[in-house]
């Protein structure tokens, strides 16, 4: 029977098995499976994309922008000293339901308090459920910042901070602060299956989860009772497709409508396809090659400068990023305020590089290692190939670089420990502040062992500038300090700055009103699709 069916399938033309006429369905070819459905412990965009549709936050980023707008909190008051935030919750936010749980009430203050306490208080029974490592909560300095979170009445929550923090609201708009149902959590705790709330999620968001199959599919349906009004789409499907070329093939055939992270190699074809539009936005990121400034010969600034001149950046960016990268001069992307336009990049000049190397005492070059990123990231689409090109360029000035690589977790750990001589890395900003790049990646504080400053660059004049800028509130003043810091950065050359990747999103023509997020999010509430 199987045999004849198989033969039938081979003989029957593909179009006979046409898709059913579904209601408005949008298929998003996502790049991987989410780790789980609890944003508080996740760190990858892949996981956040999956939970973004389900949960709401107290406040949100405006779709396609960085402005903070009301979410589950209709409005909020901030005390004069900036330490007390009072959130007034909306009363009409309904919870989803599933086969294990039917909500008896709308969202209220208990749920919001639960969101904080689950990540904050080890005594909370949910603190350790799924994972006790609440990365973003810890990373945003919440444990030190929060003084108390109190329920004033059913729809009012008062958050008191230890000191004022300007980006606090923006931080709450990030995905880690998605609100889960306390009622559901209690019910599951009672049933002895607390981890269910992170696997079969209940949220107040515009879509509810219908089905999740690892490595295959995430299926959502629009939540008709969503407080913001039912989504324009009826069904939202994530078709999990790890291979970028395959995602493109599916988009082309109309098997999906939106895809992230296109393969640079396929862009030319995408631009030619009349059914596809490519949305474009400069990304908040930088890809770089860091020299280990504590190791010979890279402790000599002349060597670093010479290598900066020896690599043909233009050719490199063209070959690796194709049309998706802007050659980088500064350590921050041009879209961030305080970007210093007046800085000139080190020009590609093999002769000058050789001369400088000779001055530094290496007329015949030297041997070194070059670490190639083992994974693909927007800021570095192909670490190995980039390493090969750099290796070839460096060979021209006599520098013999051996390409090395490790498993990604291992790679970062070893680079942070400073085991390398030259290492490729990159960074994507979280909140659009220059501090997030200049201090985090190049300050003395993070140059210690296991810090994120993998150049181990600790240069007093630079560090003074960025540390001062951190505690200054006046933006004009900060701008000056950061501009000055970028000048020093270029003189000292701890990095070979490679490129800023452009965020590209191929979208089919029938998709209406999909907006790119500067943070690289994928939000499908508000998106529509034209009938076939």
Partner 1 sequence: MTTETMEAPAVTAPTATPPHPLREFWGYFSANRGAVAGLAVIVAVVLLAVFADVLAPHSPYITDTTIALKPPFWQEGGSIAYPLGTDPIGRDILSRLIYGARLSLLIGIIVVTVSIVFGTILGLIAGYVRGMTEIAIMRLMDIVLTLPSLLLAIVIVAILGPGLINSMMAVALVILPHYVRLARAAVITETSKDYVMAARVSGAGALRLMFKEVLPNCTAPLIVQASLGISTAILDAAALGFLGLGAQPPSPEWGTMLADAREFVLRAWWVVTFPGLAILITVLAFNLLGDGLRDALDPKLKR
Partner 2 sequence: MIRFILTRLSLLIPTFIGITLVAFFLIRLVPGDPIETMAGERGIDAARHEQLKKEFGLDQPLLVQYGIYIGRVLQGDLGKSIVTRESVLTEFQNLFPATVELGVCAILFALVLGIPAGILAAVRRNSIFDHGVMGLSLTGYSMPIFWWGLILILLFSVQLGWTPVSGRIDVLYYIEPVTGFLLIDSLMSEEEGAFLSALEHLILPTIVLGTVPLAVIARMTRSAMLEVLGEDYIRTAKAKGLSRFRVIALHALRNAMIPVVTVIGLQVGVLFTGAILTETIFSWPGIGKWLIEAIFRRDYPVLQGGLLLVGAIVMSVNLLVDLTYGLINPRIRHTR
**Site residues, partner 2 (CB under 8 A):** 2-3, 5-6, 8-10, 12-14, 16-20, 22, 25, 27, 35-36, 42-44, 128, 130-133, 135-136, 138-139, 195, 198-199, 210-211, 213-217, 219, 237, 239-243, 246, 249-250, 253, 255-256, 406-410, 412-413, 416, 450, 452
Question: Closest distance between partner 1 and the C-beta of residue 286, in Å?
Answer: 22
Contacts of 487 (CB under 8 A, 6+ apart): 340, 343
| Interacting residues with partner 1 between 296 and 355 (CB under 8 A) | 315-316, 318-319
Contact 379, 287 (CB under 8 A): yes
Backbone CA torsion sign across 399, 400, 406, 410 = negative
Which of partner 1, partner 2, none does residue 214 bind to, with CB < 5 to 8 Å depending on kind?
partner 2
Span of 38-46, 178-186, 382-390, 411-419 interacting with partner 1 by CB under 8 A: 382-390
**What is the dihedral angle through the alpha carbons of 408, 413, 417, 423, rounded to the nearest 10 degrees?**
20
- Does residue number 417 form part of the binding site for partner 1 (CB under 8 A)? no
What are the tokens at 20? 């059913």
Question: Closest distance between partner 2 and the C-beta of residue 237, in Å?
Answer: 5
Q: Which is nearer to partner 1, 407 or 491 (CB)?
A: 407
Q: Which is nearer to partner 2, 13 or 274 (CB)?
A: 13
Q: Which is nearer to partner 1, 97 or 376 (CB)?
A: 376
The contact mask relative to partner 1 for 235-254 (x = CB under 8 A, - = no) is ---------xx--xx-----
Question: Closest distance between partner 1 and the C-beta of residue 266, in Å?
Answer: 6
Give CA–CA dist 222/513, Å, rounded.
Answer: 17
> Token pair 């490729």 is at which residue?
424
Question: Closest distance between partner 1 and the C-beta of residue 261, in Å?
Answer: 11
Question: Closest distance between partner 2 and the C-beta of residue 156, in Å?
Answer: 32
- Does residue number 31 form part of the binding site for partner 1 (CB under 8 A)? no
Which of partner 2, partner 1, none does residue 511 bind to, with CB < 5 to 8 Å depending on kind?
none
Phi, psi of 437 (to 5 degrees): -105, -60
Question: Closest distance between partner 2 and the C-beta of residue 168, in Å?
Answer: 19
Q: Which is nearer to partner 2, 243 or 299 (CB)?
A: 243
Q: What is the DSSP string of 238-290?
A: EE----HHHHHHHHHHTS-SB-SS--GGGHHHHHH-TTEEEEEEE-SEEEEEE
As to burial, measured by CB atoms within 10 angstroms (0-12 exposed, 13-18 middle, 19+ buried), residue 346 is buried
- Does residue number 384 form part of the binding site for partner 1 (CB under 8 A)? yes
Question: Closest distance between partner 2 and the C-beta of residue 239, in Å?
Answer: 4
Contacts of 45 (CB under 8 A, 6+ apart): 520, 521
Span of 226-234, 344-352, 380-388, 482-490 interacting with partner 1 by CB under 8 A: 380-388
Which of partner 1, partner 2, none does residue 191 bind to, with CB < 5 to 8 Å depending on kind?
none
- Does residue number 407 form part of the binding site for partner 1 (CB under 8 A)? yes
Which of partner 1, partner 2, none does residue 416 bind to, with CB < 5 to 8 Å depending on kind?
partner 2
Q: Which is nearer to partner 1, 100 or 391 (CB)?
A: 391
- Does residue number 278 form part of the binding site for partner 1 (CB under 8 A)? no
Phi, psi of 67 (to 5 degrees): -75, 140
Question: Closest distance between partner 1 and the C-beta of residue 315, in Å?
Answer: 5
| Interacting residues with partner 1 between 436 and 495 (CB under 8 A) | none
Q: What is the DSSP string of 327-357?
A: E-SSSS-TTSTT--TTPPPPPP-HHHHHHHH
Contact 64, 160 (CB under 8 A): no
Contacts of 15 (CB under 8 A, 6+ apart): none
Residue 154, SS3 per DSSP: coil
Question: Closest distance between partner 2 and the C-beta of residue 509, in Å?
Answer: 19
Question: Closest distance between partner 2 and the C-beta of residue 243, in Å?
Answer: 6
Q: Report the chain's C-alpha Rg in angstroms.
A: 25
- Does residue number 512 form part of the binding site for partner 1 (CB under 8 A)? no
Which of partner 1, partner 2, none does residue 527 bind to, with CB < 5 to 8 Å depending on kind?
none
Number of residues in contact with partner 1 under rule CB under 8 A: 27
- Does residue number 406 form part of the binding site for partner 1 (CB under 8 A)? yes
**Which candidate, 252, 260, 247, places its Cα nearest to that of 276?**
252
Give CA–CA dist 114/158, Å, rounded.
Answer: 13
Span of 404-412, 434-442, 448-456, 508-516 interacting with partner 1 by CB under 8 A: 404-412
Can you point out the beta strands (E) in 385-445?
400-404, 422-428
Where is 208: in which H helix or E strand? strand 207-213
Which of partner 2, partner 1, none does residue 265 bind to, with CB < 5 to 8 Å depending on kind?
partner 1
Rounded (10°) angle between helices 182-191 and 109-120:
60
Q: Do strands 235-239 and 25-28 pair parallel, antiparallel, or not at all (unpaired)?
A: parallel
**Which candidate, 332, 259, 331, places its Cα nearest to that of 514?**
259
- Does residue number 405 form part of the binding site for partner 1 (CB under 8 A)? yes
Question: Closest distance between partner 2 and the C-beta of residue 39, in Å?
Answer: 13
- Does residue number 145 form part of the binding site for partner 1 (CB under 8 A)? no
Rounded (10°) angle between helices 475-492 and 460-471:
160
Contact 35, 43 (CB under 8 A): no
Contact 239, 25 (CB under 8 A): no
Q: Enumerate binding residues for partner 1 (CB under 8 A).
A: 244-245, 248-249, 263, 265-266, 268-269, 315-316, 318-319, 372, 374, 382, 384-385, 387-389, 391-392, 403, 405-407
């Amino acid at each position: 029977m199987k045999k004849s069916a198989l033969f039938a399938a081979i003989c029957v033309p593909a179009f006979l098995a046409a898709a059913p006429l579904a209601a408005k369905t949008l298929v998003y070819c996502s790049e991987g499976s989410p780790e789980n459905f609890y944003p508080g412990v996740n760190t990858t965009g892949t996981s956040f994309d999956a939970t973004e549709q389900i949960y709401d936050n107290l406040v949100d980023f405006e779709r396609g922008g960085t402005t903070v707008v009301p979410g589950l909190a209709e409005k909020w008051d901030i005390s004069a000293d900036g330490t007390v935030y009072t959130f007034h919750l909306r009363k009409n936010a309904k919870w989803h339901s599933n086969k294990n749980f039917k909500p008896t009430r709308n969202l209220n203050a208990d749920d919001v308090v639960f969101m904080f306490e689950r990540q904050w208080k080890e005594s909370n029974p949910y603190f350790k459920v799924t994972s006790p490592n609440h990365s973003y909560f810890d990373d945003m300095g919440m444990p030190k910042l929060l003084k108390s979170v109190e329920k004033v009445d059913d729809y009012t929550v008062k958050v008191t901070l230890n000191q004022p923090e300007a980006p606090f609201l923006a931080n709450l708009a990030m995905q880690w602060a998605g609100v889960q149902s306390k009622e559901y959590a209690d019910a599951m705790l009672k049933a002895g299956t607390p981890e269910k709330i992170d696997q079969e999620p209940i949220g107040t968001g515009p879509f509810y989860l219908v089905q999740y199959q690892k490595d295959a599919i995430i299926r959502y349906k629009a939540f008709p009772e969503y407080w913001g009004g039912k989504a324009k789409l009826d069904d939202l499907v994530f078709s999990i497709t790890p291979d970028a070329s395959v995602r493109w093939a599916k988009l082309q055939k109309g098997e999906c409508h939106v895809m992230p992270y296109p393969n640079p190699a396929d862009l030319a074809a995408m631009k030619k396809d009349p059914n596809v539009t490519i949305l474009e936005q400069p990304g908040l990121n930088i890809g770089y090659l860091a020299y280990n400034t504590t190791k010979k010969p890279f402790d000599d600034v002349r060597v670093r400068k010479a290598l900066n001149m020896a690599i043909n950046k233009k050719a490199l960016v063209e070959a690796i990023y194709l049309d998706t990268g802007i050659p980088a001069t500064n350590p921050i992307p041009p879209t961030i305020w305080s970007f210093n336009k007046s800085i000139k990049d080190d020009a590609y000049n093999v002769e000058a590089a050789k001369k400088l190397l000779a001055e530094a005492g290496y007329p015949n070059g030297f041997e070194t290692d070059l670490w190639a990123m083992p994974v693909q990231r927007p800021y570095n689409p192909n670490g190995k190939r980039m390493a090969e090109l750099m290796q070839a360029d460096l060979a021209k000035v006599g520098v013999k670089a051996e390409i090395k690589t490790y498993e990604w977790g291992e790679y970062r750990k070893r680079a942070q420990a400073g085991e390398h001589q030259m290492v490729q890395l990159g960074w994507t900003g979280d909140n659009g502040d220059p501090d997030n790049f200049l201090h985090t990646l190049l300050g003395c504080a993070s140059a210690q062992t296991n810090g994120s400053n993998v150049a181990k660059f600790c240069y007093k004049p630079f560090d003074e500038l960025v540390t001062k800028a951190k505690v200054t509130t006046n933006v004009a003043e900060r701008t000056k300090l950061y501009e000055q810091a970028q000048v020093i950065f270029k003189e000292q050359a701890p990095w070979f700055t490679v490129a800023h990747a452009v965020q590209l999103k191929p979208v089919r023509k029938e998709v209406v009103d999909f907006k790119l997020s500067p943070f690289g999010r994928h939000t499908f509430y508000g998106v529509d699709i034209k009938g076939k």
